Structures are given as C-alpha cells and as structure tokens.
Amino acid sequence: MDLPGGTGAMERRGETDAPQGTQSVIRAVRILKAVSRAKEEVSLVELCSELGLSKPTVHRILSALISEELVVQDAASRSFRIGPEAIALGAHSVYRPDLRSLARPFLESLAAEAGETATLEVPIRDEMLILDEVEGRHIIGARTEVGARWPTHATSTGKAVLAGLPPNELESRLENPRARLTPNTITDTNDLRKALKGIRKKGYATAVGELQPDFSAVGAAVRDSTGAVVASLSIGGPSERLPRKRLRELGILVREAADELSRSLSSR
C-alpha cells in the first residue's frame, strides 16, 4: 500500500480537476482500483491511508460497491477484495466479442440437446468464472449465475483447463492449496494428477458431487489459435439425472462442441 503523500496525494489533487458533481463517482472508481491492486485483501484503514479519505467516506462508498458485488468483504477479517461482478466485467472486456459471441450458439445447442444448463467458463487464477450460460428445459436444474466463480479443482470445466496446461504451469498450480468442498472433492495432488491424465485421454472432464453433493457436470477445454486453453464449455445438472453413462454421452457432445468452437476461434 502507498503511504500518504504518494499515490493517494496525487489522487486527492486530481479530484479538484473533476467535472462538477462527479467527485463521488471518481472516489468510488479509485477505491475499486485500490482494492483490485491488493494482492489478497485490503483493510479499511489501509484504503483510507492510501487514498487520503476519511473512514466514513470510504465505508459509505464500499457499502455501495458491495451491494453491486463489485467488492466483497470477508466476514472473518472484515477486509475487502475484488468482487465477482468486477471480475466478470473484466472478463467480458477481455474475451468479447470473439469468445462469448462465438460460444453462444454452442451453448444454446448443448442446452437444447442435453436439457441441462450449459455454461461458458474462463479461468481466473485458481477459479473458473461463468462468462455465459443457457439454462436447460427442466424446471429443477442447475442454478448458475454469470459472474459466479468456482474452485478450479472441484469443477469439470476447471479440471479440463488444468489438463490442458503446459507441464510447468500445471505443476505450479498444483502447489496451491485445495479446499475440500464435499467428500468427493479431489484435494490430493497425486489423485488430481491421475484424474487429469484420464481427462487428456478422453478429451473431457467430469465432476460428480465434487462442487456440491448433488450436482454433476461434464466439461471440455476450448483453445485459441496458439493452442492455449482459454475457456471450457460444460453441461451440468442434478446428479440423479446425470448418471455415469449419461455423463459419458454428454462428454462426447461437449468435447465436439469445444473442438468446433476452438476451430472457430483459430480461424478468426
């Protein structure tokens, strides 16, 4: 964090040049930038010190940012980190128009054929962010949300991405801790390596009760023109409707869609 007199001082001076009536907007943007610059989390005191603003001012603006999920406050530490909506905005900016617009017809086709929710997800550090989705035809189905993030190791989309990483990058990722979300979540490094090996052979990944106890999904990686994995397509829903045999059928379907989307990206 910058000390008073550094970046914060320059930002305070910049407010005097702002158009009339926009001071609160500019302060909100600067608070959001400060939170995003933090390596992990940042406290209220640190934000006030960096930006040269009073606690009531920063707290009021943070409350507004939290209400829009641009910032998240940790319940235990009371510190702040960037929220899912801010990450989603960044992802939309990076990947539009190519990936999201090209993937939409594939999502619609997958959802129609499978009857389950289809998603387009992109990797953000050790998480997968839902960039787009199309719901299935069932009344009871997967309830996902664009902008939501899930741990990479506990999702079919995330494991598909991990399986497609270069060896050095994969080993670096495997050093990170992994939370056990359900009894089926793979947290052991050797077990995860074994699972990824199988994913490479099949061309798709499955997650059965690994993210949530009664949720199953199948995902396949999407590559850009360089061959790098940039996203995953998935189909997911209640485990009772997606037994192993059905997941294998849908795995082939998702893999073919992901391969076709990869070819579309490479040709642009």
Q: Is residue 87 part of a domain?
A: no
Residues 99 and 210 in one domain: yes
Q: How many domains would you assign to the chain?
A: 2
Shared domain for 28 and 127, answered yes or no, is no
**pTM exceeds cut of 0.85:** no
Question: In which band, very low, low, confident or very high, does the pLDDT at 265 lie, cut at 50, 70 and 90?
Answer: confident
What is the structure's pLDDT at 20? 52
Q: Residue 7 and residue 61: Cα distance in Å, rounded? A: 19
The domain of 52 spans: 7-82
Phi-psi region of 21 (alpha: psi -120 to 50; beta: other; left: phi over 0): left
Task: Report pLDDT for 69.
Answer: 85
pLDDT in tens, 63-84: 999 998 899 898 888 999 888 7
In a domain, 137, yes or no: yes
Residue 54 within any structural domain of the chain:
yes
Sheet of strand 205-208: strand arrangement:
149-151, 127-134, 117-124, 229-238, 215-223, 205-208
User: Does the structure show a pLDDT above 80 at 5?
Assistant: no
CATH number at residue 235: 3.30.450.40
**Confidence bin at 93 (pLDDT 50/70/90):** low
Of the residues 47, 82, 117, the one at which a domain ends: 82
End position of a domain, from candidates 82, 110, 132: 82
Residue 2 within any structural domain of the chain: no
* Among 5-9, 138-142, 244-248, 249-253, the least confident range: 5-9
Q: Are residues 61 and 141 in the same domain?
A: no
